Amino acid sequence: MIFFLLRFSLFIIGTTFLMVFIVSFIILIKTIYLSDTQLIPHLFNNYEKCGEGFVVANKELCERIATSYWMIFILIASLIISFITLFPFFIMRKKNDKNSSEAKK
């Protein structure tokens, strides 16, 4: 009973974080590629555009850059957690009892 409960909880946690991974990947793609402005040149170089003096002028650009940073973080974290929980789920096997192994012989 505990084996199935543990396996079920690993499955639920793993699939939840896998769904979070997929949703964050879709949001990241929409934010980067389907926006009006080119975000890729500004993605890891936001200091000139999102400084203290320029935040008011480039508020939408800075929000998209921050959103893409958070989506990258959530993407990596959810992938790691889903791998950690789903890997044992697929390799877990219930130990055979001595009586069942003797019955097979």
- Phi, psi at 43, each rounded to 5°: -65, -55
Cβ count near 89 (within 10 Å)? 17
Kindly report, residue by residue over 10-63, the tens digit of the pLDDT: 899 999 999 999 999 999 999 888 878 778 777 877 566 676 766 677 788 888
Q: Hey, where are the domains in the chain?
A: 2-91
Position with higher pLDDT, 74 vs 54 = 74
List of residues 6+ apart from 41 with CB closer than 8 A:
none
d(C-alpha 16, C-alpha 74), whole Å: 13
- The CA distance from 79 to 103, in Å, is 42
User: Per-residue pLDDT tens for 77-88?
Assistant: 999 999 998 888
Give mean pLDDT, residues 2-11. Answer: 86
Give the separation between CA 85 and CA 18, rounded to whole angstroms.
10
